[in-house]
Amino acid sequence: MSSGGFFEVPSDLQNSWWGLVGWQVELTLVPVLCGLVIALPIALLCRRFGWVYPPVLGVATVFYAIPSLAFFVFLIDYFGESSVTVGIPLTVYSLVVLVPAIVDGMRSVAEDTRAAAEAMGFGTLRRYVQVELPIAVPAVIAGLRVATVSSVSLVSVGMLIGNEGALGNLLSDALNYHRPLLAWDAVLSIAVIGVLLDALLVLARRLLTPWARKATAK
């Protein structure tokens, strides 16, 4: 049996290298997108009722302080050794980053612009959705970048939950089979995926905010 090349994945993982990459991306992005979908209404509530924001921020920070491993172990009782168990903590961590990003982005809209919207007869919700949220897009994407990069590395911890760690599973195989190259494979692949996903988000911001070209070029 050959000791295997860089991209040769041991058969016990039941996946090709590309398969692991796809899985890694899925485990990374699904929680971030769930986080975004949940964060939007929470952020709108915080924007509408200012007093909601500090307690929400407090609760979120407490969640963020829970070590991911403890979180996983706790959730195994409910969801077993599954990708849901891995996904829930990552979703929560994304929320913690995204809610303040959206709220602060919406608050940063220039006073003149907000006053103009009010004076032109925008209702409150309409003003949030049609004026403040679009103007907050660069801030929201900045939050998505942080959430995505932290998510992509945290996914690998899932290897401890019955091999639910995508590329992270290579790390346990590196130990089991004494193949340090597999560890290098995991680390480098995850890093490259992180950089690529980040680049995609930057590209998305450019496409979504042609009106901010000057500001982002600074």
Contact residues for another protein, defined by CB under 8 A: 110, 112-123, 126, 131, 134-135, 137, 209-215
Say how far apart CA 132 and CA 117 lie, in whole Å. 10
Give the residue with the Cβ less far from another protein, 65 or 119.
119
Give the residue with the Cβ less far from another protein, 137 or 146.
137
Closest distance of CB 91 from another protein, Å: 28
Say how far apart CA 137 and CA 172 lie, in whole Å. 39
Closest distance of CB 131 from another protein, Å: 6
Closest distance of CB 119 from another protein, Å: 4
Give the residue with the Cβ less far from another protein, 131 or 160.
131
**Hunting for tokens 């050959």 — which residue is that?**
2
Closest distance of CB 102 from another protein, Å: 15
Closest distance of CB 115 from another protein, Å: 6
Concatenate the DSSP letters of all residues of the chain into one string: -----TT---GGG-S-HHHHHHHHHHHHHHHHHHHHHHHHHHHHHHHHSGGGHHHHHHHHHHHHHS-HHHHHHHHHHHH-SSHHHHHHHHHHHHHHHHHHHHHHHHHTS-HHHHHHHHHTT--HHHHIIIIIHHHTHHHHHHHHHHHHHHHHHHGGGGGGTTS--GGGHHHHHHHHTT-HHHHHHHHHHHHHHHHHHHHHHHHHHHHH-GGGHHHHH-
Closest distance of CB 137 from another protein, Å: 8
